[in-house]
C-alpha cells in the first residue's frame, strides 16, 4: 500500500468486508439526499413561478378594472355632453324658429 492510499483509505476493502456494506449505505444515503434536494429545489421553483403568475394576474386584473372604470367615466361624460348639446341645439333651433316667425 502506498502512503497516499494509507492516508486516503487506510484499510483495504478486502480485509474488512463490512466496509463495503457501510459504503453502500453511505452512497445510498447520499443519493437519497441529492434526489430529495433536487426535488425540493424543483418544488420551490414551481411555487415561486405560481406566486409570480398570481401576482402578474392580479396586476393584469387591476389594470383591466382601471381601464373599465375609465371607459365608464368617459361614457358618462359623453352622455352628459350629448344631453347638453341636445338642449343647446333645441334652444338654438327654437330661437331661429321664433325669429323667423316674427
How far apart CA 2 and CA 16 sit, in angstroms, is 18
Per-residue pLDDT of the chain (102 residues; tens, 9 = 90+): 555 555 566 666 666 666 777 788 889 999 999 999 999 999 999 999 999 999 999 999 999 999 999 999 999 999 999 998 888 887 787 777 767 766
Closest Cα partner for 46 from 38, 29, 57? 38
The confidence score (pLDDT) of residue 45 equals: 98
pLDDT score for 43 = 98
SS3 (DSSP) at 27: helix
Q: Quick check: helix, strand or coil at residue 10?
A: coil
* pTM score of the predicted model: 0.53
Under a CB-based contact definition with an 8 Å cutoff, are residues 22 and 15 in contact?
Answer: no
pLDDT value at position 23? 80
- As for how many domains the chain has, the answer is 1
Show the domain range for 11. Answer: 3-101
Amino acid at each position: 500500500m502506498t502512503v497516499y492510499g494509507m492516508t486516503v483509505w487506510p484499510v483495504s476493502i478486502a480485509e474488512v468486508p463490512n466496509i463495503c456494506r457501510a459504503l453502500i449505505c453511505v452512497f445510498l444515503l447520499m443519493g437519497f439526499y441529492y434526489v430529495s434536494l433536487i426535488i425540493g429545489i424543483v418544488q420551490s421553483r414551481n411555487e415561486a413561478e405560481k406566486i409570480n403568475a398570481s401576482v402578474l394576474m392580479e396586476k393584469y386584473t387591476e389594470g383591466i378594472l382601471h381601464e373599465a372604470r375609465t371607459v365608464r367615466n368617459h361614457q358618462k361624460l359623453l352622455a352628459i355632453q350629448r344631453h347638453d348639446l341636445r338642449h343647446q341645439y333645441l334652444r338654438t333651433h327654437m330661437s331661429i324658429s321664433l325669429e323667423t316667425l316674427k
